[in-house]
Structures are given as structure tokens and as C-alpha cells.
Amino acid sequence: MPQWAMVIDLTRCTGCAGCQVACRAENATPPGITWARMEYFEAGTYPNVLRVSLPALCMQCREPPCERVCPSGATYIREDGIVMIDPELCIGCRACMIACPYGARYYYEEERTYFPGHVTPYEQRRSRSFQVGTVSKCDFCAHRIDTGLARGLTPGVDPEATPACVLNCWCNARFFGDLDDPMSEVARLVASGQAIQLKPDAGTEPKVYYLLPGRNVVVRQHEFRGPASLPREFSREG
């Protein structure tokens, strides 16, 4: 069985958020639900500072904490390693949203459409996936992978079988493929030892990897200040 994985090269990413738009167009996620989202932040101290654009999505962990806390079995791991949610089984307890270290899960609290009182063709297309009162998340465009494989295509190589965010990345910052196939681009990038996982301490073993331009500044846990203390933080120290 293949193990689908993604490598995102942050040295190439321009932060255009094309992945976010492509995901929304492909999956018709309701307003407020952004499976593939962009995060922008700054690191370092003056004059050595860096503005980072980080495309984030479900990390498709090998040890998904969301699956462990799910009381109804709605979250499950497919044989190809994709973490899925069965909206028919989800009871909407949101324990998975508490458990996910990456904020990859979204709760569909109430019926929302982009244009009130009007459902666009995009929204009609995958409306079954969004049940009110359940949780949803990125599934590596599993429908594209499945239909592509059925047609004999190779995900990560053939556009029809590849996740929409990868296709739409005009910087070629996203790579998708089978981690178990040593010839695939993702397997070679991961094997290079340069690819890192987010929050490795959480023990989740993500299958989404990032290529960073080097290793000088570590965003440490005790250094982060949430908006809780934003006013204080705006008066920069040093």
C-alpha cells in the first residue's frame, strides 16, 4: 500500500495562498473552514529577522492524536495512511479539535453559504461532506487520489490524481507522492534529511514535511506569545 505524503519547500513558497484558494474551489469548504490555510509570522530579533509564510494543512499523522481521542470511531486511518473522518459517525464532541496540535480540524457549527440564501455550484458539488454539527479536515483530496488511481494514474505525477493545493502551487513548492516508493520525489526529499516535521515533540509523526532554508533560529515553545499578551508584545523589547 502506498503511503501518501507531502513535502512543502518553504524556500520556494511565496505565501500567495493559492493553495488555500485551490482547496476551497476543489472542496467547496463552507465559510470559516480552511483545510489548507496560510500562516504568516515573524521570527528572530532585529536585525536578524524573518517573515515566514507557512502553508498548513492536516499533517496526516502516523500516530494521529485525533484518532486516539475519537469516542465514536468517526476518525479512522485508511490503509494508504490518510486520516479520514466519516461524517455519518461523527457525534460532534470536538475532542479531536482539542487533541490536534496543528489546528487542522474545523467544526461546522451551523449551515453557512458564501451567499446567504443561495448555494453556488461549487458548494453543491461536495455538499455531502459537510454535515452541520460535525468536524471536517483536509484528506489529501482523497477523492482525486481514488478516482485517479482507478484510472491508472499516479498521484503526485498526473494532475488529475494530485491534491488541488499541489496543482495550484505556481512556485512548485509542494510535492506529493508515495513515501514507500523510493523513486518518488517526496521519498527522496524526506530521505535527504533536510525535511522537518512540525511539532515533533508531540509524537504525532506527521506525513507532511517542510524544507526550511537552514537551522539558525528555533521557534521555541516558551518564546511564543499568543494574542493573550499582544499589547505587551507590541512594545518590542531590545
Partner 1 sequence: MRVEVLRDEAQQTVWGWKIAAYLFGAGMGAGAYAAGAATALLPGWGSASEARVYMAVGTATVLASVPLLVWDLGRPERFLRVLLKVRRSWLSRGAWILLLFGALAVTTLVLGVPRWLAGLSLAAAVAVALYTGLLMGSMVARPLWNSPILPVLFLVSAFSTGLALVRLVSIAASNGSAGASLPAPSLLPSVEVGLLATETLVLYFYLAIAYLRIRTPVESLLYGHLAPTFWLGVVGIGLIIPLVLQIGRVHLAGSAAARVELLADACLLAGGFLLRYVLLRAGVRGPAYLGAPFVIRPEV
221 in contact with partner 1 (CB under 8 A): yes
**C-alpha distances out from residue 15 to 21, 30, 53, 111, 149, Å:** 12, 22, 5, 30, 30
Binding residue for partner 1, selected from 100, 141, 161, 165, defined by CB under 8 A: 100
- Identify which range of 1-9, 129-137, 140-148, 185-193 contacts partner 1 by CB under 8 A: 129-137
If the CB atoms of residues 68 and 151 are measured against partner 1, the closer one turns out to be 68
115 in contact with partner 1 (CB under 8 A): no
Strands 195-196 and 208-211, how do they pair? antiparallel
- Is residue 7 within 8 A of residue 189, CB to CB? The reply is yes
3-state secondary structure of 76: strand
136 in contact with partner 1 (CB under 8 A): no
Binding residue for partner 1, selected from 76, 92, 185, 188, defined by CB under 8 A: 92
- Identify which range of 28-36, 77-85, 113-121, 127-135 contacts partner 1 by CB under 8 A: 127-135
Q: What values do phi and psi take at 187, rounded to 5? A: -65, -40
111 in contact with partner 1 (CB under 8 A): no
Q: How many CA atoms lie within 13 A of 152 on its CB side?
A: 0
Alpha carbon distance 107, 4 (integer Å): 25
The amino acid occupying position 154 is: T
Binding residue for partner 1, selected from 98, 119, 171, 191, defined by CB under 8 A: 98
Binding residue for partner 1, selected from 12, 25, 40, 125, defined by CB under 8 A: 40
7 in contact with partner 1 (CB under 8 A): no
43 in contact with partner 1 (CB under 8 A): yes
**C-alpha distances out from residue 210 to 6, 40, 46, 177, 182, Å:** 8, 15, 25, 14, 18
CA angle, 134 as apex, 76 and 65 as ends, to 5°?
A: 40
Task: State which of positions 9-38 bind partner 1 (CB under 8 A).
Answer: none
Strands 135-136 and 106-107, how do they pair? antiparallel
If the CB atoms of residues 183 and 230 are measured against partner 1, the closer one turns out to be 230
Q: Of how many residues is the chain composed?
A: 238
171 in contact with partner 1 (CB under 8 A): no
61 in contact with partner 1 (CB under 8 A): no
93 in contact with partner 1 (CB under 8 A): yes
- Identify which range of 15-23, 76-84, 151-159, 206-214 contacts partner 1 by CB under 8 A: 206-214
- Identify which range of 14-22, 147-155, 185-193, 202-210 contacts partner 1 by CB under 8 A: 202-210
State the nearest-atom distance from the C-beta of 77 to partner 1, in Å: 14
CA angle, 47 as apex, 43 and 53 as ends, to 5°?
A: 30
